[in-house]
Amino acid sequence: MIVMKFGGTSVESTDAIERVARIVSSRLKRSPVVVVSAMAKVTDQLVAMGNQAAAGDCNAAIELLQALRERHLQTARELLGSKRGASLAPRLEGYFSELENFLRGLAAVRELTPRGSDYLLSFGELLSSVIVADAFAVRGLNAAWVDSRQCLVTDANHTRAVPQMKQTRERCKNKLVPLVSKKRIAVMGGFIAATENGVPTTLGRGGSDYSAAIIGAAVDADCIEIWTDVEGMMTTDPRLCPDAKTIKRISFNEAAELAYFGAKVLHPATLLPAIHQNIPVYVLNSRNLKSTGTEITAQAPPSRDTFRAITAKNGISIVNVVASRGVMVHGFLRSVFEALDRHSSPVDIVAISEVSMSFTMETKRLPKALLSELEQIADLAREDRQAIICLVGEDIHGKPGIAASVFNTIAKADVNIRMISQGASEINISFVIQENDVPKAVRHLHAQFFPGRTARKIATAKKSGTTNGLGRRRTKGTEISGVHETRASNGRAAAASRP
């Protein structure tokens, strides 16, 4: 059995869904279970509608809902033809009237709770999955729509629910395995789940990848395929740097580190279930039926390059906490860590000096209550619109001069570094810069560490060490320029232990 997940752009239109049907047809012998995201941009539109309705602008929300309705009905008509299209229409209309009722209710009470938000967002994947299931059937595939809310069981941590694997495994075995043994292709919505009592939940934005991995682990799949809009995991985000190259093979730990530090191509938690059961994961391009993409397994052969990839994670805040005069150092640090723990605050990078501590956290996850509590014990300063740049590679451990080379490159790009972390996780070097500087920093780093074939040849030819393939003089030793270094540690240690 294999699990195949198709992201939003892979099911964004009639053509895209037709391609998906062809890809799935090519895997029939492997007994696929198919997981789909909402059509591209639909989840964002549902969020927008929810916000408009909760702000009292019901008309704007309903207008947006009409556009969404048109798009889905038209795609269904194009894919299914008039007869089957007409038989699916009442089901789609049912979802739209539920949505409309919900939006009107929101406008009346003027509040969108996390629980309400999960209910609202679940419609994106419900709509796409029923359309895809019928589109498969029309194309001769023996498909069966399966309600993910009856298979994936989570806790009630709405908007970021945590899977309960024992119950999920049981439900998947009961619902999916019998279908697969009858050679049917289960088609399910990703991202959505439910509590044990059936209250809808979601796994966090981008969570369909995670759904695929959870289902893969629950049914002991042979592999998990993540089909997306790029040719696999790449040396950096191709939107930031067009020279990015596909990584053929990468280890679980490296890929998890990249996903955590901003490689949007995988939801950060995706690899945990796969690591747990040692299931290979492939990242493939749904626009290329012959895609070989990236293979992610426990071990990967060493890379020719120093690093495997570079990522950037935007939307970061730095919080500087400085002990008030007279506070004992150890007592101060303990209080800060206890406050972080009480608010379940996921810090990324931490830097500590005797009487101060700086940490980074995603701005949208920084609790106000935490900041007020810290203000009671220390002076607080906060800087928003920061980004973490992370360079990942299993082979960097124990090699001298690598950090120097990274920071020299950043200095040449004229970018200021705010915090540095190297060492806590042996496979990455990460540091914080301003969000504005991200494209420049990533491009310079990529040119330095992933030189094109020509540049690589020049570098090999000039092995004497006088140039670095970019025509620049190489720096010697461990000189670090333009960098203020702080003792720092990476708040997220081994990838496999992440929640």
> Could you list the residues that contact Mg ion (CB under 5 A)?
7, 206
Residue 490 interacts with which of Mg ion, ligand ASP, ligand ADP, none, CB < 5 to 8 Å by class: none
User: By CB under 6 A, what part of segment 206-245 binds ligand ADP?
Assistant: 206, 228-230, 233-234, 236-239
Residue 438 interacts with which of Mg ion, ligand ASP, ligand ADP, none, CB < 5 to 8 Å by class: none
Find the part of the chain contacting ligand ASP (CB under 6 A) among 148-156, 203-211, 355-363, 459-467: 203-211
CB 317 within 8 A of CB 346: no
CA within 13 Å, CB half, 83: 1
CB of 161 to ligand ASP, least distance (A): 13
| DSSP-assigned beta bridge partners for residue 132 | none
Q: Which is nearer to ligand ADP, 236 or 428 (CB)?
A: 236
Angle between helices 165-181 and 208-218 (to 10 degrees): 80
Pairwise CA distance, residues 418 & 134, whole Å: 52
CB 383 within 8 A of CB 419: no
The amino acid at residue 205 is R
Closest-approach residue to ligand ADP (CB): 7
480, 488, 251, 260: which is closest to 390 by C-alpha?
260
Q: Which is nearer to ligand ASP, 193 or 480 (CB)?
A: 193
Residue 124 interacts with which of Mg ion, ligand ASP, ligand ADP, none, CB < 5 to 8 Å by class: ligand ASP
Residue 38 interacts with which of ligand ADP, ligand ASP, Mg ion, none, CB < 5 to 8 Å by class: ligand ASP
CB 275 within 8 A of CB 210: no
Residue 239 interacts with which of ligand ADP, Mg ion, ligand ASP, none, CB < 5 to 8 Å by class: ligand ADP
The pattern of x and - marking residues 36 through 75 that bind ligand ASP according to CB under 6 A reads: -xx----x--------------------------------
User: By CB under 6 A, what part of segment 262-281 binds ligand ADP?
Assistant: 263-265
Find the part of the chain contacting ligand ASP (CB under 6 A) among 206-214, 369-377, 439-447, 454-462: 206-214
CB of 107 to ligand ASP, least distance (A): 24
Residue 207 interacts with which of ligand ASP, Mg ion, ligand ADP, none, CB < 5 to 8 Å by class: ligand ASP
* Contact positions vs ligand ADP (CB under 6 A): 7-10, 37, 206, 228-230, 233-234, 236-239, 263-265, 309
